Amino acid sequence: MKQYNENILEVKDLETYFFTEEGTSKAVNKVSFSLKKGETLGIVGESGSGKSITSLSLLRLIPSPPGKIVGGNIFFKGEDLLSKTDKQMRSIRGNEISMIFQEPMTSLNPVYSVGEQIAEVIRLHQNLGKKEAWQKAVDMLKLVGIPSPEKRAKQEPHELSGGMRQRVMIAMALACHPEVLIADEPTTALDVTIQAQILELIKNLQKEFGTAVILITHDLGVVYESCDRVAVMYAGKIVEYTTANELFENPKHPYTIGLLNSLPRLDMDQEELTTIPGTVPSPYNMPKGCSFAPRCAYAKKICDEMVPDLQHVDQISQVSCWKHTVQWDREFVLHEKVGVE
């Protein structure tokens, strides 16, 4: 194995496009981020921002056609996953990188017992016999806090509640002690009380196994609770990439600021929640410049014309916004001139 630095996962300029009859949708557009061993990275964004497609791209699980990873690199332990064979990818999926999904109700196969579904992944990657794999599945169910696991293992998904099923999914994902766990909105479909339990469970198991977690969510509360670092996605791009603390203390991208402002607050007496005006642009008809420009209160001419790069604005944060570049003041002058003429 090649040497790699402390980043277990490093994504560089990842591009995943969908080729449909309506046109090409750049669902993931030059996305870069990295993941250190044992840390939790949050990927935040609204529906359609490309966060789920990003996570599926990491395991090369994009439905093709119409989807395709057209560019970039995904370095896992120093090796590019995009140059691996299908066979090599299969030995990584569920073993070194595993994933849990938003819908625990439909993510488990309805016709097999949950024990069998966990044991299957153990047999596949750990070369264990049927009996040992089953025993390990039962142990995993116990580990994720399912009472009377021996009995539960024999049950089928429809006999379990939503929270239970998500615990089963977590047991299945962690059964082979993966180095990276991708959790795609793991709590969205669950009751609020169960949400907290599931997040707590993921956090505890992460500590126990030293797993790095990519937590995909649209819930900033979840980010605040669970993440070390955060990537904010908008229309297929990362617009702000920073630590969780910094995101809440000192947000920089106008979109992030808008998101935080639209959170309900206990310390203020509000009649109505603040919203960001406008809607997300159609993936088939992206603005020429910054994709947030049409909704941005600060937008200037340059924002409509050129796409800003994601770049460091200080030691901690990377932001993709003209407002945080040196061009901004020059642009101001340019605008003025245009105005005069």
Partner 1 sequence: MLLFIIRRILQTIPVLLGVSLVVFLIMQMVPGDPATLLAGEGATKQTIEMVRHQLGLDRPIIYQYFDYVFHAMQGDFGESLRNNRPVLDEIMVRLPITLELALASIMITVVLGMIAGIISATKQYSIADISIMIIALLGISLPSFWFGLMLIYFFSVNLHIFPVAGWGTIQHMILPAITLGAGGAAIVARMTRSSMLEVVRQDYIRTARAKGLKEHVIIYKHGLKNALIPVITVVGLQFGALLGGTVLTESVFAINGLGRLIVDAIRTRDLPMVQGGVLIASVIFVFMNLAVDVLYRYFNKRIDLN
Q: Which residue among 24, 32, 46, 61 contacts partner 1 (CB under 8 A)?
A: 61
Q: Is 107 in the site for partner 1 (CB under 8 A)?
A: yes
Closer residue to partner 1 in complex, CB, 91/274 = 91
Strands (E), the chain: 7-20, 23-36, 40-44, 67-76, 79-80, 97-100, 180-184, 212-217, 229-234, 237-243, 311-312, 318-319
Number of amino acids touching partner 1 (CB under 8 A)? 28
Identify the residue whose tokens are 């005006």. 277
| Binding segment (CB under 8 A) for partner 1, from list 29-37, 97-105, 217-225, 313-321 | 97-105
Q: Which residue among 26, 125, 252, 295 contacts partner 1 (CB under 8 A)?
A: 125
The mark string for 224-253 relative to partner 1 (x by CB under 8 A, - otherwise) is ------------------------------
Nearest-approach distance from CB 33 to partner 1, in angstroms: 20
Q: Which residue among 120, 219, 228, 246 contacts partner 1 (CB under 8 A)?
A: 120
Nearest-approach distance from CB 139 to partner 1, in angstroms: 18
- Neighbouring CB atoms inside 10 A of 197's CB total 16
Q: Is 180 in the site for partner 1 (CB under 8 A)?
A: no
Alpha-carbon distance 317 to 310, whole Å? 10
Closer residue to partner 1 in complex, CB, 66/278 = 66
The mark string for 137-156 relative to partner 1 (x by CB under 8 A, - otherwise) is -------------------x
Closer residue to partner 1 in complex, CB, 40/98 = 98
Closest CA to 239 of 330, 323, 326: 323
Alpha-carbon distance 193 to 21, whole Å? 43
Nearest-approach distance from CB 94 to partner 1, in angstroms: 4
- Neighbouring CB atoms inside 10 A of 117's CB total 19
Nearest-approach distance from CB 103 to partner 1, in angstroms: 5
Nearest-approach distance from CB 96 to partner 1, in angstroms: 9
Strands (E), 166-281: 180-184, 212-217, 229-234, 237-243
Alpha-carbon distance 187 to 329, whole Å? 43
Q: Is 79 in the site for partner 1 (CB under 8 A)?
A: no
Closer residue to partner 1 in complex, CB, 35/182 = 182
Q: Is 5 in the site for partner 1 (CB under 8 A)?
A: no
> Quick one: CA dihedral 206, 210, 214, 220, positive or negative?
positive
Alpha-carbon distance 158 to 176, whole Å? 25
Closer residue to partner 1 in complex, CB, 112/332 = 112
Pairing of strands 229-234, 237-243: antiparallel
Q: How many residues in the chain?
A: 341
Q: How far is CA 43 from CA 131, 218, 313, in A?
A: 39, 8, 20
Closer residue to partner 1 in complex, CB, 158/330 = 158
Q: Is 108 in the site for partner 1 (CB under 8 A)?
A: yes
| Class of residue 142 by CB neighbours under 10 A (exposed 0-12, middle 13-18, buried 19+) | middle
| Binding segment (CB under 8 A) for partner 1, from list 21-29, 89-97, 238-246, 327-335 | 89-97
- Neighbouring CB atoms inside 10 A of 152's CB total 20
Q: Is 101 in the site for partner 1 (CB under 8 A)?
A: yes
Locate 179 and state its tokens.
């180095």
Q: Which residue among 44, 172, 180, 231 contacts partner 1 (CB under 8 A)?
A: 172
Q: Is 264 in the site for partner 1 (CB under 8 A)?
A: no
Residues of the shown chain interacting with partner 1 in the complex, contacts defined by CB under 8 A = 59, 61, 89-95, 98-99, 101, 103, 106-112, 120-121, 124-125, 156, 158, 169, 172
